[in-house]
Homo-oligomer: A and B are copies of this chain.
Amino acid sequence: MHHFTALADVPDLGALLETAEAVSRHPHSTPALGRHKTLGLIFFNPSLRTRLSSQRAAHNLGLDVMVLNAGTEGWALEFGDGAIMDGDKAEHIKDAAAVMGRYCDILGVRTFPGLKDREADYQEEVLEAFKRYAGVPILSLESATRHPLQSLADLITIRMHTPVPKPKVVLTWAPHVRALPQAVPNSFAEWMNGAAAAGQVEFVITHPPGYELAPAFAGSAPIVYDQHKAFEGAHVIYAKNWSSYTDYGKILIQSREWMVTPDKMALTDQAKFMHCLPVRRNVVVADAVIDSPASIILDQAANRVVSCQAVLQHMLMG
């Protein structure tokens, strides 16, 4: 595996999942793999889980790590080709990415969408620039439109916790007070549609009208506008807020009617509750659900180390 920025970057998902299982059992079995190699982690946005889980994964592999907070520790970057740089941008991404690629063997990049200009966000300017100029494998630590390390952790968690052969997995929109990116639901849909195509899961999306994901991500997953109906018989409830793709970056409704509650969970087939975190309690999901035995959010978070380590391992093996 070279880059890891989307499902399409994974040449053999089965092999990656096998590695993940091995990593989960024996996290320190390949410390020599990272020897004399350095992972650079560049954050254009805040991060807690990704920041810590990727460092831990690197430690487990014997990789050295360098963390750069691009905003506060470095300077503003220019992305325009041919720009006359007489404004506030001190360095072109061409040069910054190329240099970082000379100092690191793998570069992890975290960036968010602006949620103002849909076309710009979906072109993944920052991530693509790193892929183009860095000259080393790029690991997405969440980009404007995808969060594949999260999705891989989600898939590992679902496989670990659903003993039924073809579980019904429901991605449900939930309320929030701020306009959030579509990266997590996009990526989750991308990976679940893949699993559905392979006959491994039944995948359903539920959200209020106006919250349709980009067609490239929603794929052919059935969209159910009635949340109660969608929950019926579910084995996994995956809750997440996102802002509108159609009316780009907007919050269309804020009512708590879409919050995940115990009575809704009662409609499912003893479904597990998942959320990528951070989560607004009693807005996205009731305490009584997230603190219940059905909640597997901590295993899901713990699997962020497993997913990152499996990916790094495949990158190091080339």
Contact = CB atoms under 8 A, between A and B. Distances in A.
A74 B48 contact: yes
Interface string A51-66: 1110110011000101
Contact of A59 (B38, B86, B99): B38
A204 interface: no
A95 B278 contact: yes
A290 to B, nearest CB: 8
A120 interface: no
Given A38-B59, A66-B52, A282-B85, A277 B46 contact: no
Contact of A82 (B277, B282, B283): B282
Contacts of A298: 98-99, 102
Given A43-B73, A305-B103, A287 B82 contact: yes
Contacts of A73: 43, 46-48, 51, 69
A25 interface: no
A305 B53 CA distance: 26
Contact of A95 (B31, B40, B297): B297
Contacts of A64: 55-56, 59
A131 interface: no
A46 B51 CA distance: 20
Interface of A is mostly: mixed
A75 B40 contact: no
A84 B282 contact: yes
Interface string A13-51: 000000000000001100100001010100100111101
Nearest to A92: B281
B302 A102 contact: yes
A177 interface: yes
Copies in the complex: 3
A83 interface: yes
A79 B75 CA distance: 27
Contact of A51 (B43, B68, B280): B68
Nearest to A58: B64
A277 B68 CA distance: 17
Nearest to A63: B59
20 contacts: A28-B36, A38-B59, A46-B72, A46-B75, A49-B99, A49-B103, A52-B99, A52-B103, A52-B104, A55-B64, A55-B66, A56-B64, A56-B103, A75-B278, A85-B280, A86-B283, A91-B277, A91-B279, A95-B279, A99-B302
Interface of A: 27-28, 31, 36, 38, 40, 43, 46-49, 51-53, 55-56, 59-60, 64, 66, 68-69, 72-75, 78, 82-87, 90-92, 95-96, 98-100, 102-104, 177, 277-283, 287, 290, 297-298, 301-302, 305
The 8 A-B pairs of least Cβ separation, nearest first, read A91-B278, A85-B280, A59-B64, A102-B302, A84-B282, A52-B103, A99-B301, A48-B74
